Structure 1
Amino acid sequence: MNTQEKWHEMHSQKRHQPRYPGSDLVAFVLKNFKKNDQILDLGCGGGRHVKFLAENDFIAYGVDYSANGIKATQELLDLYKLKAELKIASVDNIPYEDEKFEGVICYGVLYYNSKEVIEKAAKEIYRVLKKDGIAYMVVRNTNDYRYLNNEKISKYEVFIDEKDALKSAFKENGMKMYFFDKDEVRRVFGDFKQIEINSLRKTHANDSFADENFLVILRR
């Protein structure tokens, strides 16, 4: 089963559909965007961030390559009588015209793709953003326990083989995952005029291991 098929299956299960938006993303969006800005959630999954955008007076769009993800997002919107435009598509082929969006969100999505897809996605995000538009990305960095504890395929790519069923990486078994250091963030997103990189660390089990992400803010 490839990564797309695995996510299609996972998005059909409620336990892989988080209910609430990331608190960091909520704070960022409300601070940096205004009512009726057009914002794309790239890799919208079960729809939590599309819902947040729609209920806070943004013009919301969602793209995901899992049909089950799009279905779950639409059901969530329908439940709350909200509207957004949803499409099935990959991160490296965004089905919108140049300079359409004031904002693009890509939250915990890119690292499930190959280097080549990620590089194309960076170009696509740049293309669909308006001048001075902002992208908010969350990517895993090389201090994350998945990177430290699994087989390296290349400098940044890892094959996930987690033995502990209690760790969240267990459900990612069999996936290839791409990790970033700051140099790789700057390389991949080098077209953007401003790149800001901040760290988000969450430890578990008495600090014995940690999820580590970069919060990447890009301005076109």
Structure 2
Amino acid sequence: MFKSFLENFKKPKDNFGGRFILKSMNRGHEKLAKWGRSYLNIDEAYTVLDLGCGGGRNIEYFLTKANKVYGLDHSEASVKMASEINKEAIKSGRCKILVGDAKSLPLKDESMDIITVFETIYFWNDIDECFKEIYRVLKKDGKFLICNEASSNKRKDVRKLSSVIGFEVYTPQDLTKMLTDVGFKCEYYLDKKEQILFIATK
């Protein structure tokens, strides 16, 4: 029962537990997300994609800055909540939120100015293929931002959760190697808690 509840971190379900986790992430991740977003210069003409958009809080923020914002998540429950939060922007045509997989983005080549992932890549399968897809849809000089609470397995709570639901924590060195191999130029920052902000430029 407890494991089933925790699985909602990976893929929220459309039930009480899933909705509870999504609402909690919208609130609980805001401080981390705010730190990450502060490193982005978003022009109003930009098109932004938030991958693993969860409950839609980051989309809501990006809509205050950019002309067009996309969200994508493999969880139908996430897309449902994110769409509800951002329904006015969807109605106006400024926002589109899709169910999908980062390995196969339903987007044109070089169509995005900025792509973001917050607390998401831990759960990706074939992460190298995901990074190749992100590179494909980013415009030249476009930015790919990764923002994660954990940058190693040092923390006991991270190791414990990983053992229960299974996910991968990538170090700055891991990410630098993978993203450089795809063709990105990389830089990263760690805060006092060793939370990581990673910026890859095409």
TM-score normalised to structure 1 length: 0.74
The answer on whether the counterparts of 2:36 and 2:197 sit within 8 Å (CA) in structure 1 is: no
Alpha-carbon distance between aligned partners in 2 of 1:92 and 1:123, rounded to the nearest angstrom: 8
Q: C-alpha offsets along residues 158-212 of structure 1, whole Å, 9 cap, x if unaligned?
A: x624xxxxxxxxxxxx21121122321122112234100111343xxxxxxxxx3
Deviation at 1:148, TM superposition (A): 6.9
The answer on whether the counterparts of 1:11 and 1:17 sit within 8 Å (CA) in structure 2 is: no
Identity, % of aligned positions: 22
Larger Rg: 1
What secondary structure does 1:82 align onto? Answer: helix
What secondary structure does 2:82 align onto? Answer: helix
Which of 74, 83, 86 is residue 65 of structure 1 equivalent to?
Answer: 74
2:11 is the alignment partner of 1:7: yes
Alpha-carbon distance between aligned partners in 2 of 1:3 and 1:187, rounded to the nearest angstrom: 29
2:101 is the alignment partner of 1:127: no
Gaps of 5+ in 2: none
For residues 31-46 of structure 1, the aligned pairs below 5 Å read 32-46=41-55
Question: Across the two proteins, how many residue pairs are aligned to each other?
Answer: 185
Gaps of 5+ in 1: 151-158, 162-173, 203-211
TM-score normalised to structure 2 length: 0.80
The structure where helix makes up a greater share of residues is 2
What secondary structure does 1:70 align onto? Answer: helix
Match of 1:100 in 2: 111
Which of 82, 86, 89 is residue 77 of structure 1 equivalent to?
Answer: 86
Task: Identify if the C-alpha distance between structure 1 residues 77 and 147 changes in structure 2 by more than 3 Å, giving closer, same or farther.
Answer: same
Alpha-carbon distance between aligned partners in 1 of 2:200 and 2:85, rounded to the nearest angstrom: 29
The answer on whether the counterparts of 2:42 and 2:66 sit within 8 Å (CA) in structure 1 is: no
Match of 1:160 in 2: 162
Amino acid at match of 1:112: F
Alpha-carbon distance between aligned partners in 1 of 2:24 and 2:44, rounded to the nearest angstrom: 30
Alpha-carbon distance between aligned partners in 2 of 1:124 and 1:188, rounded to the nearest angstrom: 13
The structure where strand makes up a greater share of residues is 1
